Structure formats: structure tokens, C-alpha cells
Amino acid sequence: MFQRQERMIALTFDDGPLPGPTNEILDILSENQSRATFFVLGNNVTKHRDVTRRIVREGHDIGVHSFSHPNFQETEIYEVYRELIDSTLLLEDLLGILVKYVRPPYGFSTAETQFLFDQIGLQSILWTYDTLDWEILNAEQIASNLLENIQAGDIVLLHDIHPTTIQAMRIAIPKLVDQGYKLVTISEWLEVQENPFK
């Protein structure tokens, strides 16, 4: 059980899984006795089922990031529904677990899509700190920015599809742990927000 006063960070990784990068991230997390959350694309899950299983087997959270990464603000609601249902059912059938979280692509949603999330039973999870790893593509800069700007309680946006992000995590994760941060799943992060005095 984590306490509110502990220095918690929730690292989240979007757009995978991919065998090389995602497995490397999982290795780094394991080496540092840390956990994270992976928001996966259904079309990647269909091709990389073993990596998807490994995410859950090693104690990390998994959530839906759609099937093919459309912008939900520009997508008909029935297509959004299909993106979510196809991904959720795929994960639940593959993993035998209830999928609880969604991160809309680009973080974009509408009142209509938020209502749809609720109807399907998915909690929307965004972020409080964006590493811009998809744009910077420089491992040292990504790691430096993260280490200099991170605050306890942050939900960090990352992508487990870029080699530079994996290199940045090799730098940043051991340092965060050495600094006393606990790297947790979204489930653990939410539990502390909801039960601060446990």
C-alpha cells in the first residue's frame, strides 16, 4: 500500500506494444522493481500477443488507446465505439482481465466520447506531464527534462515505440528510483488519490 506522502509517479506508455521497444521498457522496469501503465493499440496487440501478455504478467496496468489511433474529435461516434469495443474485447479475451482504462489518442475527446467511455465502463486517463518524447527524439534531453521537471504525483506521458524513449528510460528510471520516487501503476496511483489516509 502506498501513502499519499510517498513520492509516487505513474509512468504511462502509449502506442505499443512492439516487441523490441516494449520488451526493453519492461526489462528496465523489472531491473528497477518498478511498475507502469501501457495504453495499447488493438492493431499492435493482434500482432504482438506475447508482449501484451508479458505486460500484465509482470504486474503492470494495461489500458485501451483505441484500435488504430484515430482522432476521436474527428471520428463518427459509432466508429469510436467500434475502436473501443474491438480493442477492449481483444484484450479481455487475450488476458482474461477486465480492462478499466482508456486514453484517447492525442488526449482528444468530446462530451459524446466521454459519455461513451462511461457507458462502456472505461475511465479516461490523461497526464500531468508530457515528455514530448515523440517530438524531441533525443534520449539525453528527454531524460534531463523529465528529471528536472517531475513532481511527486505526476502522471507522465511517454511512448514505447521510439528507441530514444527507451534510451531515456535507461537513464531516468534508475535515477528516479535513487531519488526516492516510487514508480506505480495507474491503479495504484488512483487508489492513493481515493484513499489518502490508508
Region of residue 117 (left: phi > 0; alpha: psi -120 to 50; beta: else): alpha
For the chain, what percentages of helix, strand and coil (3-state, to nearest 5) are there?
50, 15, 35
Of the candidates 14, 15, 61, 154, the residue annotated as catalytic is 14
Of the candidates 27, 154, 159, 162, the residue annotated as catalytic is 159
Q: Has 159 been annotated as catalytic?
A: yes
CA distances from 77 to 30, 82, 90 (A): 39, 9, 20
CA gap 90, 45 in Å, rounded = 8
Q: Which helix (H) or strand (E) holds 9?
A: strand 8-14
Which active-site residues does the annotation give?
14, 159
